């Protein structure tokens, strides 16, 4: 769990700094302080060890991107149809500057590491 790795508990304050090696550099990004309000466990190590949840407005301010949303996740009823849903969303958005990825593409490295092929 990320909180354990950072050695923080509920009520502690953490400073979050944007990654300098990000593939999408954000020159206006500045560090921000957040108070730990709780922890979560999703039973998926990649998420449990790397993700935090913060108010959208606070993250937007930290990244200096104004009133923009940098990502949206959708839940589908049929995981096998996620590529079709991604294609439909991509078509509706009109392509770049938007990038749409289905669940399999987003987790391609995980599937390769586990030896699973895309269905």
CA dihedral for 39, 43, 46, 47, sign (positive or negative): negative
**What mean pLDDT is reported for the chain?**
84
pTM exceeding 0.85 = no
Residue 118: strand, helix, or coil:
coil
Residue 119 tokens, joined: 């269905």
- pLDDT tier at 22, thresholds 50, 70, 90: low
Angle at 23 between CA 82 and CA 5, to 5 degrees: 85
Residue 52 tokens, joined: 């935090």
- Higher pLDDT: 71 or 9? It is 9
């Amino acid at each position: 769990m990320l909180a354990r790795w950072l050695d923080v508990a509920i009520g502690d304050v953490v400073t979050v700094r944007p990654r300098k090696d990000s593939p999408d550099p954000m020159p206006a990004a500045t560090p921000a302080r957040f108070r730990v309000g709780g922890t979560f466990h999703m039973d998926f190590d990649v998420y449990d060890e790397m993700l935090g949840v913060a108010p959208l407005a606070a993250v937007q301010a930290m990244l200096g991107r104004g009133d923009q949303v940098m990502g949206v996740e959708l839940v589908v009823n049929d995981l096998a149809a996620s590529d079709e849903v991604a294609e439909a969303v991509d078509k509706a958005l009109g392509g770049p500057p938007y990038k749409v990825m289905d669940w399999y593409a987003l987790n391609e490295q995980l599937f390769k590491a586990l030896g699973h092929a895309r269905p």
